[in-house]
Structure 1
């Protein structure tokens, strides 16, 4: 398979197409677990295959996914992601009210997924054992930086995640992990 790149979205309509809660999950699952059919995804998320099929067609219409060229049979259509990630410019989208709302909706979806992941981990923490209990967690940092420095930091973190994932790809004892990075300017009077 060829190296997948990040999809940089520049318009509100395309970004809005992926903001639907089920579409975000479908796209994420195809990115992480690989190709799947509407029926397989429907079972995973407790949805009908008709519902997942509809949302998969929307994702395909906007270029996030495509039919997998290696179909298992003529009856079941398997889908795959086209890109490993989605990005957008908050500043560019902020210039258009529809773009600003689409970007806000995506940030809300990201936060919802972070909360869901954290709650799932907390509910199952005993099943992970001490090594993973110690490795998992959240942290926060307060630092004074320029916006350009924050952009550089974000790019370096993304590169480190890719580097470490590649290093451990075929190593025994690995688990799928989610790495979240949030950077927000903060008025010092709001620090709690």
Structure 2
């Protein structure tokens, strides 16, 4: 049975430290590509090293990232992600003040924008991948009639299925690539 990934639950304090597009992008970069310095991240993301340094310190202050001293030599400060994922329950912010609700909106919209950018990047670059990867990719949707309880059950089963695939291959497998999986489940207006 694969080990559960280390996932952090966002609360009001941690949301304050993360609800910024560049911070979210920095955290994602560290999670996906491993430890890096502020300069490396600045170059990768097209930002100034001053901006990345500031936002990395903010992420560290809120416990999202930590030093990776085994990577650094001399004065270089290397950073690494502390957790592999986040959970966010919007209902926990019901009745919160406008500042916190605004941060929750920033966070949610940035997650959605990141998913859209990643999908767009795949569509743009898909011809550069092998035919096997072209067939392995998926962009599908479905419409179901569910109760909130069944929707929660479905999401739990999807997450369990995804987790079942963790650790099945290593970086050493020549056919293995890092993949992104986006899931979205939300109610829609019926006509």
TM (norm. structure 1) is 0.89
Residue equivalent to 1:186: 188
Residue equivalent to 2:33: 33
Aligned length: 187
Indicate if the aligned counterparts of 1:168 and 1:174 stay in contact, CA closer than 8 A.
yes
Residue equivalent to 1:127: 128
> Could you say what the CA RMSD is over the residues aligned between the two structures, in angstroms?
1.9
- 3-state SS of 1:185 partner: coil
State the structure with bigger RCO (CA 8 A, min sep 6), 1 or 2. Answer: 2
Unpaired runs of at least 5, structure 2: none
Q: CA deviation at 1:129?
A: 2.6
Q: CA deviation at 1:15?
A: 1.1
Aligned counterparts of 2:150 and 2:169: Cα–Cα separation in 1 = 28
Aligned counterparts of 2:105 and 2:59: Cα–Cα separation in 1 = 19
Alignment of 1:72 onto 2:84: no
Residue equivalent to 1:62: 62
Indicate if the aligned counterparts of 2:8 and 2:87 stay in contact, CA closer than 8 A.
yes
TM (norm. structure 2) is 0.89
Residue equivalent to 2:93: 93
- 3-state SS of 1:86 partner: strand
Indicate if the aligned counterparts of 1:90 and 1:100 stay in contact, CA closer than 8 A.
no
Residue equivalent to 1:8: 9
Runs of 4+ in structure 1 off by over 6 angstroms are none
Q: CA deviation at 1:146?
A: 2.0
Aligned counterparts of 1:172 and 1:73: Cα–Cα separation in 2 = 30
Residues 143-162 of structure 1 deviation map (CA, whole Å, 9 limit, x = unaligned):
12222222222222222222
Unpaired runs of at least 5, structure 1: none
